[in-house]
Structure 1
Amino acid sequence: MITSDPPRPDRVTGRRHIAARVDDVVNALRNRLFRRRGWRPRIVPYTGYGSTHEVRLLARVLLAPPVTDRDPRMDAAADPDPDSTAARQRATRGWRRFLTTPIPAARVEVDVDGSTYHLVTDRRGYLDARIAVTLPAGWHDLPIRVDRGRPSRLRVRVVGDEPTLGIVSDIDDTVMITHLPRPLLAAWNTFVLRESARVAVRGMAELYRQILAAHPQAPVIYLSTGAWNVAPTLTRFLARHGFPEGPLLLTDWGPTNTGWVRSGRQHKHDTLRRLGRELPQVRWLLVGDDGQHDPQIYDDYAAEHPQQVLGIAIRRLTATQQALTTTATHRAPAPHVPTVRGKDGFALVAALRAAGLPPR
């Protein structure tokens, strides 16, 4: 059985916003032009998650130039070996990720435990589907195909039915520093060409690894307002700096049915609520920074669902980083859940232990 997603803000009835209509017209013209030039569908798989009875599959289908096995532009996601380091390094980086065109209503097939599911992408080429399954806890690689395109695999993290701890982590200024003002941060994260140009926050990878050492079944979710286009680059950055593997839940920067852009803040609010519905057995440690809206978003969710929040850990930005942050927030800790603060991962480890929270 295939289950529909909860309604998104851009899924509305009635007349669509001019932004969406213009975007659809331009995309249709690009599809016709590039197909005449021999461009083919390419699957960009994203890491999904779910329970033993239902999983969320995430991917995108794009038109891209035809490639060969020796072409350095070959998308790592299309490599038949998803664990191949060489394949990851071949993945297209930075601005090249935007030289593709989404394929709306693309029909894809996904194989799960002997059954084949027939799914369709949305107007921006995204596949975001929940399907009923019977899968054991752990990691699974699910074959996915599209007509005339290179097959790939969807990586899915299945969380067991027993109560467990989980981590929801922000990315920018929480695990990664770019030393740029917020107005430039999004553009930098989108168009930077090398992972080495980004700096990991001290001790954050060690914090997450320590928690997983004590709670090996804990899922790790990376929640960010960054664009889906840079998911492969962010995945390589996290792996390179020793962060645990986990789904990235990002957003689409394209026009919506209600406006030109989506609200990043609403994206985080909605995603936390969705995780609470889909994985009710998990109590989350919410990790973010005080440079923008994380404290308020986490406090609001903890107030709504205190039984699903184990604690809140906020990385305290330096004075320089605060000066570059245009929307810094200064809030008192939420009274309903333990909240700790620290300048980096090492300080947060000590603060969490002092509060009686993992790692311990």
Structure 2
Amino acid sequence: MAYTWPILVNMRSPREDFEAANKRLTAQDIVAPEPTAADDMATVPIPARTAVTTFDAASKRERLEVKPPLIRFMRRTITNGFGIWSKASCMVVRRLGWYPRVEPYVGYGTGDYSRLICRTVYAPEHSQSGALSRGIRGMLAIPASRTHVQASIDGVPLNTVQVGVSEVYDKVDRSRDLGGEYAISDSSGYLDLVAEHRLSPGIHRVTYSVNRRKPVGANLYTIPASAKVGIISDVDDTIMITQAPVIWKAAWNLLFLDPKKKASVPGMSVLFARIADLFPDAPFFYLSTSPWNVESSIRHFITDHGFPEGPLLLRDLDPRPKTFVPSGPQHKLEFAEQLMADFPDMKFILVGDDGQKDPTTYATIARRYPGRVLAIAIRQLSPKETPGLASVAGLTSTQPMPVTDVPVFTGTTGSNILKTMLPYLKAHM
């Protein structure tokens, strides 16, 4: 019998969802398992629910049915073509003996709940998750849809709970020998869960298991309640030079450039380090329109160039039947709104660049959430980083600065921004 995941239409806070989840768990008589010889004490499974993000639900303006007929036709053609390619490629790699593997992504959460994201893809037997590779290899990854995944936090298993109008519980599949409840990845292999679990502030470990593979893990950053300031930063041309406005250069840097040769924007790691010194509890969220396929490359870049580690919130570029591919600004707006809801008492510093639409996107966030944005930092691109005749003439073709009541600090390097932004932040601690 097939089991389906419900779509949550009304966005509720995680706390409200978990109150409903706990009632359902109680009604289902879920109790702690009997301790074994290997256990010092019994553990109660952690209730978890699927989250609705741009993976499977876009805003009304982004949905396919509101687009003009020609656009609908073109997008449906692309989506159907992608579906055919996906099915054909799955058949080929299965014949080659490949089977599902989990690509774990860094999670985040509060003391009450955690956000966990991973993806299941087909891979050869001896392949490794999270290995540093060129972007093109990640972009050609073949999703392993509808794969059973078991997850745990610090060794405590997750018990999948569906919350919504239609609640369906997956039965334990004994044939897979996972030893507990499992979650199922979506049609593109993504699994986005919110788990209820009281954790101490700091870094915890999330482990994912699939059949025939060794468990793989990722860090889970639990944000302390005392953290009153958070940083949301773009990646491309904000901390990492990609020349995103110039399409062919961006494609080369993203797909073919040796990851070890990616260059950092001068002074930005110093700026971030000074902000981290100023706000020791502040979490850093890297919100980018780059695809999840290159997550490992960006993750290694952040570590190698001395930026504060933190969750990456990237974009799914696989076309979906109802939403196609979320636009860059819409992706950033929706994830920023999610962070605003996850941390209602936190103010944010927004960091981006003027090469695409960060200024207008951040101004929109500031207007929608008055009093929640502490400052905006915009890195200004040089003429060489801009497309077309503008670069030849020594001019820039970038976005105008945001019109907002929130102070905006600009500069071509992190050092330029640091000189004016740091005194303001010190005065408003």
TM-score, structure 1 length as denominator?
0.86
Q: CA deviation at 1:218?
A: 0.7
Partner residue of 2:417 out of 328, 341, 348:
348
Does 1:204 pair with 2:285? no
What SS class does the counterpart of residue 226 from structure 2 fall into? coil
Does 1:171 pair with 2:235? yes
What SS class does the counterpart of residue 20 from structure 1 fall into? helix
Amino acid of the structure 1 residue aligned with 2:114: V
Q: Any conservation in 2 of the 1:102–1:125 contact (CA below 8 Å)?
A: yes
Residue deviations 1:72-115 (CA, integer Å, cap 9, x gap): xx4353xxxxxxxxxxxx53333222343101111100112523
Structure 2: unaligned runs, 5 residues or longer: 1-46, 58-62, 66-71, 160-181
Q: Which residue of 2 aligns with 1:261?
A: 325
Does 1:221 pair with 2:274? no
> In 2 relative to 1, CA 326–131 (structure 1 residues): closer, same or farther, beyond 3 Å?
farther
Q: CA deviation at 1:158?
A: 1.0
Aligned pairs for 1:194-343 (under 5 A) are 194-258=258-322, 260-322=324-386, 323=390, 328-335=398-405, 337-343=406-412
Residue deviations 1:157-201 (CA, integer Å, cap 9, x gap): 111122421111111111111346432254224312412432211
Q: Which residue of 2 aligns with 1:3?
A: 49
Residue deviations 1:255-305 (CA, integer Å, cap 9, x gap): 122365331111011111011011223211000111111011011101111
Structure 1: unaligned runs, 5 residues or longer: 68-73, 78-89
Q: Distance in 2 between matches of 1:190 and 1:256?
A: 23
Residue deviations 1:191-213 (CA, integer Å, cap 9, x gap): 12412432211111011111112
TM-score, structure 2 length as denominator?
0.73
Q: Distance in 1 between matches of 2:221 and 2:425?
A: 28
What SS class does the counterpart of residue 261 from structure 1 fall into? coil
Q: Distance in 1 between matches of 2:357 and 2:278?
A: 29
Q: Which residue of 1 aligns with 2:167?
A: none
Residue deviations 1:6-63 (CA, integer Å, cap 9, x gap): 3648547999944434323332222222112110211111111111111111111100
Q: Which residue of 1 aligns with 2:112?
A: 53
Q: Any conservation in 2 of the 1:311–1:357 contact (CA below 8 Å)?
A: no
Q: Which residue of 2 aligns with 1:121?
A: 185
Partner residue of 1:75 out of 116, 125, 128:
128
Amino acid of the structure 2 residue aligned with 1:213: D
Q: CA deviation at 1:221?
A: 0.7
Amino acid of the structure 2 residue aligned with 1:338: P
Q: Which residue of 2 aligns with 1:183?
A: 247
What SS class does the counterpart of residue 199 from structure 1 fall into? coil
> In 2 relative to 1, CA 320–92 (structure 1 residues): closer, same or farther, beyond 3 Å?
closer
Amino acid of the structure 2 residue aligned with 1:6: V
Cα-Cα RMSD: 2.6
Amino acid of the structure 2 residue aligned with 1:95: I
Amino acid of the structure 2 residue aligned with 1:308: R
Q: Distance in 2 between matches of 1:30 and 1:6?
A: 27
Q: Distance in 2 between matches of 1:185 and 1:59?
A: 29
User: Which structure's residues are more often strand, by fraction?
Assistant: 1
> In 2 relative to 1, CA 180–128 (structure 1 residues): closer, same or farther, beyond 3 Å?
closer
Q: Which residue of 1 aligns with 2:144?
A: 103
Identity within the alignment, %? 33
Q: Any conservation in 1 of the 2:153–2:204 contact (CA below 8 Å)?
A: no
Q: Distance in 1 between matches of 2:260 and 2:301?
A: 8
Amino acid of the structure 1 residue aligned with 2:108: Y
